[in-house]
Amino acid sequence: MKGHELWNKIKAFSVKAAKATWSFLKKVGLACGHGLKKFFTGSGFRSAVPSFLSIGLGLVFGIFTMFIIWLLVRWKVFDVVNDPKFFLGVTKLLMGGFNQGMYSVGYMLYRAAPLILTGLSVGFAFKTGLFNIGAPGQLVVGSLAALLVGVKLQLAAPWHWMLCLLAGMAAGAIWAFIVGLFKSVFNVHEVVASIMMNYIAMYFTFWAIENLGIQNQFCIRTGPNRWTCSLAPNSVTVLSTAALPKGLAEFFGGYSLNIGIVIALIAVVVMYIILHKTTLGYQLKAAGFNREASRYAGMNTKRNIILSMVIAGMLAGLGGAVAIMVSDKRMFLEEGLMSAEFMSLGFDGISIALLGISEPIGIALAGLFLAFIRQGGDYMDLANYMKELADVITSVIIYFSALSVVLYQWISKRKAKKKTLLKGEEGSDER
């Protein structure tokens, strides 16, 4: 009898627990459904639709190009030493940062850090009505300042690498301040001033490396106890105490991933808070939307222009510091190498800002995506495709992004106009 009663109690408890669990899951499902509906019908998702479309179209274009190359080789239109492997190439491209497991994921995150920071620099300026095409120059002077502090000062970690980061941010801010000053005081367009400052930054860096004692040397043994040393066309590297910590290396398969990606993500959060949760962010965005209206409202537009450029330059300078504060990273005295290794990171920031619709979270995702695709491009030579095809795909994505934004705005205006006409016709029928 006691066993029968115990069984009934267990059964009743099980039924109650099952009903409570079902009720809870039902509420969670409704909440998730409402959240998803709100997400997909919200303005944030609608504004991101052009980016999603451009990514899809860019990847389709890249895969189609790979197929055409494979087809032309099969038809003997081109004579090549090694035939391209289409399916392997597509797999390597789409696998991106997962081609070699955690090792390639670590390298992807390492590459993404300065891209995210330069994207934030350009995107922040976009949000405030400015076009910071000077991010490459600000990044270069930020790298130079971090390199000088990382070589010339003898400090213990973590103070040394923290000071290098601050030096990079300060140098980028000062470089952008000049552009903001010309814009606000003399009404010189920021695009013109920024482009000029980019070249000044590059050649000033060449001079600084050669004359401030940070040029690298290589020595050749020419006899017993005799060495001949010459200056190399690059800089020295930062001291070990100035290099960013590599605490994430073991988790990512031994690759020396540093905390650069953590710094970049912290910058994303800070910029999101400034833009969307502070009075300063509201004032800067208001000046970007309508400078005359913000001036009429009593805002100091000249100060806002300078401040916007300073913050943008600070982010680009931080990206430069993160890029150079690696144990084996050097700056070059040759224009082509400097452009490829450092200046290109600044120009990539423009692409990332466009793809991320100038929103901090969108920029973080766009920076990770760009690093992901380029990581896939590095493995495409295993399928006998040139890795530069990944850069072609990225360029096409940016073109599609710009075109899709214009097309999406045109379609939205057409829909709004159609709704207005329909409402007008309904009103006339009621009368």
Paired residues of 218 in beta bridges: 230
- Report the alpha-carbon distance of residue 59 to residue 397 in Å, rounded: 8
Closest CA to 115 of 275, 300, 316, 338: 316
Cα four-point dihedral sign 144, 148, 149, 155: positive
What is the pLDDT averaged over residues 168-173? 98
Query: DSSP string of 32-92?
Result: HHHHHHHHHHSHHHHHHHHHHHHHHHHHHHHHHHHHHHHHHHHTTSS--SS---HHHHHHH
Extents of the domains making up the chain = 42-84+384-413, 100-213+239-379
Residue 133 is predicted with a pLDDT of 92
Cα four-point dihedral sign 145, 148, 153, 158: positive
What is the pLDDT averaged over residues 125-144? 94
Contact 355, 365 (CB under 8 A): no
215-248 pLDDT tens trace: 987 767 666 777 766 677 889 999 999 999 987 6
What is the pLDDT averaged over residues 383-410? 79
133: phi then psi, degrees, rounded to nearest 5: -75, 0
What is the pLDDT averaged over residues 241-269? 83
Q: How far is CA 276 from CA 38, 128, 131, 271, 299, in A?
A: 19, 12, 20, 8, 18
Contact 119, 367 (CB under 8 A): yes
- Report the alpha-carbon distance of residue 148 to residue 139 in Å, rounded: 14
The CATH number of 100-213+239-379 is which of 1.10.3470, 1.10.287, 1.10.10, 3.40.630?
1.10.3470
Helix axes 360-378, 260-277, angle to 10 degrees: 150
Local confidence band at 40 (pLDDT 50, 70, 90 cut-offs): very low
Residue 18 is predicted with a pLDDT of 65
Of 70-84, 126-140, 269-283, the least confident: 70-84
Contact 102, 249 (CB under 8 A): no
CB neighbours of 152 closer than 8 A, spacing ≥ 6? 213, 214
Which value, in Å, is the radius of gyration of the alpha carbons in the chain?
27
State both tokens at 153: 């000062």
Paired residues of 288 in beta bridges: none
Query: Which strand (E) or helix (H) includes residue 186?
Result: helix 159-186
Burial of 417 (0-12, 13-18, 19+ CB in 10 A): exposed
Contact 272, 364 (CB under 8 A): no
- Report the alpha-carbon distance of residue 387 to residue 402 in Å, rounded: 24
- Report the alpha-carbon distance of residue 32 to residue 19 in Å, rounded: 20
Residue 192 is predicted with a pLDDT of 92
Local confidence band at 285 (pLDDT 50, 70, 90 cut-offs): confident
Coil/strand/helix, residue 241: coil
Contact 349, 118 (CB under 8 A): yes
Question: Distance from CA of residue 346 to its chain's centroid?
Answer: 10
308-344 pLDDT tens trace: 999 999 999 999 999 999 988 999 888 888 988 899 9
